[in-house]
Structure 1
């Protein structure tokens, strides 16, 4: 799409501005607008009056430049190449040639991040925003790895368009950016916009008609642990395979697996004494069943539960909440009066918290959600958690496993 806009000969002339000189020194080259007969025919049939007027204005300017009686003929020819006449010629050329392509901002699928992501340390809250932004950063750069080299890289600076030869492209961090850089992949119909921010950071924005397939590939086998300052993005680890659990748990696991395949939203609660393998089971289900299906795993601790909202750009999400009986406490008890975690867990089970208002911009994936919860006893749980329609499957772990 973009190759037709690049001139065959590289203009090695040096602009007056030292920053533009730096662009040329960094490998950027002036982008020369090329004549497009289709575009010219479009102007001829749809804007013929303006085309004629601009053509006559240009001819008049050239005639004035060559018709000065007080100068010799060779001086008048030189006057044709003066700065004023050249400006008129360039203005006419820019009118009859299409501008270099730029992103279609009507695309609804937009994913952006300010990179590198900075963690702001606070004693009052765990860095949920940092970890979720880090996940978004990883997703964007994995997508850029998946689509590989773009078909076009351009930059506009000081009223001039520049392009970067894609065969010389190494990575985005090493690309010199003064203004705003655009890159385009014609096969995937994906645009990338890069803007400079303060403190050496850049804003990377992906735009496409459909980003979901690329996001699914980029987030495959990813897991996020939100647990104080131990929070991290990585891969789910399971110490015990599913088939090492007792037979009754294996049978329950088969039921859970079928429900995951059949339902868009599923909540599972397992209870039992400490050491019966509840947490190990959730990790095994996440690793062996959910991750291969494309689910991104989120493991939430007590503080994260109260502030977590599933990212809207992910299509498949699994949330693991351990010791739910210490979180979703019975609100009738005095100990639970100042606890907001119960309401938040209920809203996660209902989907009401993050689906009540839909953002008009960005990616709104039709999400599949699986929630795995463990507790030592159901007696301390708020009755609303166990209400029909919130928790779909339950099982008691009775065998000493760990």
Structure 2
């Protein structure tokens, strides 16, 4: 079924002052265009309703023209009265297709409120803020990748407006009073923008396959969740893999192959302080994982027990340093006050991770790599080292730093 509209720059303007503000900022009234395909569809599928509405509007016009107590020219003016025009407009809206609107049946939706408000307290790490910030960055980068849309409309005060796409610069410059809709036919992507108070906006991107755009938008992103240093940025590696001893380089080759072959991988490296464990995880993230499209999350002690992998990301790497201070042996007294062990185990088992995949609604298959470091494996809970949870364990013995 075809749908079309014509843009009438001379159409009457909504008298609301804010609607005039839309016109002043470049928006134009959007009027519907008659479409034969749509009309024949109505005629074949709903001919009774079409006939009833056509007779009703014809009757209204006849009543306006047939008043005996007024002259012919007064009756002619009555045809253009507000009430008659409303009836005619109602019929016109019925026999013409509605302006393009998002397909809410799209399988995948990614949204964000912007700008993200940060709330920080002394008792908690702002995990939600940083993860929301990551989602905001992802949405805005996707919009940059999409570029200029094919159609931009806005629904405000029961009326549609359109924005000439040739004049489009960016989304921040668009005056938004109601709800904005945009469409990219090349990517089959819809955008809906709703306005909040104090200049806040809510972006919703809809498509049947957002994964390629999300992967491009999140390329080379890293997230640190560590107290007040929590932030979104890029992974930094001071030492390249080739600067490590030969045995570690050989071990790294095995890890690289396993990353390519497995959907989920857990690696534990241990050794005395200064043997380069943390530097190695950063090098692997920078040189192996980042080029493959993994988003890197570096978690500190407090972040581990509150972190849930974002379901819209296709590939995730978690770096957990000092794992022996986190996943402590639950048989020991120190672990009685530590509930981080269960959370790490659920990440390694995939129980928490799989539940996020099933409920998230965007990705059916996600890849997870967990890189953990510790000084000694003796304090680790035996369940962590159980077969099937950690795929590779390696001891760093060479003094690196």
Supply the distance in 1 between the matched residues of 2:191 and 2:274 (Cα, whole angstroms). 50
Residue of structure 2 in register with 1:300 after alignment? 299
Report if the CA contact (8 A) 1:147-1:185 is conserved.
yes
Deviation at 1:70, TM superposition (A): 2.3
SS, match of residue 370 in structure 1: strand
Stretches of structure 2 that go unaligned for 5 or more consecutive residues are none
* 1:192 equivalenced with 2:221 (yes/no): no
Deviation at 1:2, TM superposition (A): 10
* 1:127 equivalenced with 2:118 (yes/no): no
Deviation at 1:200, TM superposition (A): 2.2
Stretches of structure 1 that go unaligned for 5 or more consecutive residues are none
Deviation at 1:13, TM superposition (A): 4.1
Q: For this pair of structures, how many residues does the alignment match? A: 401
Supply the distance in 1 between the matched residues of 2:39 and 2:3 (Cα, whole angstroms). 18
Residue of structure 1 in register with 2:74 after alignment? 75
Deviation at 1:197, TM superposition (A): 1.8
Supply the distance in 2 between the matched residues of 1:254 and 1:2 (Cα, whole angstroms). 56
Report if the CA contact (8 A) 1:310-1:317 is conserved.
yes
* 1:4 equivalenced with 2:12 (yes/no): no
Deviation at 1:393, TM superposition (A): 0.5
Residue of structure 1 in register with 2:229 after alignment? 230
Report if the CA contact (8 A) 2:109-2:206 is conserved.
yes
Deviation at 1:356, TM superposition (A): 3.3
SS, match of residue 173 in structure 1: helix
Structure 1 pair 367/279, CA: closer, same or farther in 2 (3 Å)? same
Deviation at 1:377, TM superposition (A): 0.7
Deviation at 1:234, TM superposition (A): 0.9
Deviation at 1:73, TM superposition (A): 2.1
* 1:214 equivalenced with 2:198 (yes/no): no
TM-score with structure 1 length normalisation?
0.96
SS, match of residue 337 in structure 1: helix
SS, match of residue 106 in structure 2: coil
Deviates more, 1:100-109 or 1:70-79: 70-79
Supply the distance in 2 between the matched residues of 1:99 and 1:58 (Cα, whole angstroms). 20
Supply the distance in 2 between the matched residues of 1:201 and 1:297 (Cα, whole angstroms). 29
Supply the distance in 1 between the matched residues of 2:364 and 2:212 (Cα, whole angstroms). 11
Alignment of 1:3-402 (within 5 A): 4-7=4-7, 9-11=8-10, 13-356=12-355, 362-402=361-401
Deviates more, 1:280-289 or 1:170-179: 170-179
Report if the CA contact (8 A) 2:4-2:99 is conserved.
no
Report if the CA contact (8 A) 2:117-2:129 is conserved.
yes
Report if the CA contact (8 A) 1:305-1:344 is conserved.
yes
Deviation at 1:361, TM superposition (A): 6.2
